[in-house]
Structure 1
Amino acid sequence: MIRLRKMEQTDLPVFKKWLYTPHVAKWYHDPLDWIDEVEEQDGAFCWIHHFIVEHEGQPIGFCQYYACDDSDELWGGYTALGGSYSIDYMIGEAGFLRKGFGKLVVADLIDRISLHSDAKRIVVQPEPENKASCGLLLSCGFAFDTEKEIYVKLLP
């Protein structure tokens, strides 16, 4: 139903469009930082795995994952535990919202991360007001760490 493919520089125009779309801009602050990261995905940000989400060959969204050890984010102590990964995701095309595509994207990312021999958990911290994302994570098997306000999924 969906396909995640490696993001290419030719995807930048649609990615930029999505970042400035109201339903995305509400949660993806500092679009220029996101654009810089994607432009440098083969350089300074080569440790992040960037993807375009396609449905029937049409780009509808973006997602990424990375090992927390490679970032400068502490993740409430989860990074220090080792084996922690994080994800980001968006459905950029408004016509594809609330149709189950987000759940498919997160499930695919979980599968990809699970293939890494060091992967023990996935940690995500959407804004509490982003009820759709918070509910999505719970529906994908994440638990909410109330002390650290982070969603965590332990991997087998």
Structure 2
Amino acid sequence: MIELRKMSMDDLSIFKKWLYEPHVAKWYEHPADWIYEIEKQDSEYNWIHHFIVEHEGRPIGFCQYYACKDSDELWEGYTELGGSYSIDYMIGENDYIHKGYGRQIVLDLVKKITLHSDAKRIVVQPDEDNKASCGVLLSCGFVLDTEKNIYVKEV
């Protein structure tokens, strides 16, 4: 139903549009930082795998994943365990929110991560007020580590 394709610089304009949509801007603070990351995806941020989510050839969202060890994030000790990955995702097009596409995006990202031989877990920390994202993660088999307020899925 959806396809994750590698993001290119041609996608930057639609990505920028999505970042300023009210339903995205609420959770994706500091849009200039996200734009800079995409602009540098082939150099400074080449350790992050960026994708455009398409439905029947139409771009509807964005997602990414990365090995936690490559970032400067400690993930409350999960990075130290090794084999930890994290994800980010959004549905940019209003017509596609609350229709199950978020779940499909997360499941597709999980499949991509499991192809890495070192992958042991995926850790995600959405804003606790983002009930839709928290629900998506739970529906995809993530468990909330209540001590650390991080959703975890062993792979």
State the shift of 1:13 in Å: 0.3
Corresponding position of 1:114: 114
Q: CA deviation at 1:90?
A: 0.1
The residue matched to 1:88 in structure 2 has which SS? strand
User: Which amino acid counterpart does residue 34 of structure 1 have in structure 2?
Assistant: W
Residue 84, structure 1, aligned to residue 89, structure 2: no
- Aligned residue in 1 for 2:139: 139
Provide the residue aligned with 2:44 in structure 1: 44
Distance 2:24 2:97 in 1: 11
CA distance in 1 between counterparts of 2:136 and 2:55 reads: 19
1:12 and 1:19 map into 2 onto residues whose CA distance is: 11
- Structure 2 unaligned residues grouped into runs of 5+: none
CA distance in 1, matches of 2:103, 2:127: 18
Letter in 2 for 1:98: H
After TM superposition, the score normalised by the length of structure 1 is 0.99
In the alignment, what sits opposite 1:11? 11
1:154 Cα deviation (Å)?
Answer: 0.3
Distance 1:69 1:84 in 2: 7
Q: Deviations over 1:111-148 (max 9, x none)?
A: 00000000000000000000000000000000000000
Equivalence for 2:73: 73
One-letter amino acid of the structure 1 residue matched with residue 61 of structure 2: G
- The Cα RMSD (Å) is 0.3
Identify the residue that residue 55 of structure 1 maps to in structure 2: 55
- Give the unaligned 5+ runs of structure 1: none
TM-score by length of 2: 1.00
Give the match for residue 93 of structure 2.
93
Q: Give the 3-state SS of the residue equivalent to 1:138 in structure 2.
A: helix
Give the C-alpha shift of residue 100 in structure 1.
0.6
Name the structure 2 match of 1:34.
34
- Structure 1 residue 63, shift from structure 2 partner: 0.1
Q: How many residues align?
A: 155
Identity value in percent: 72
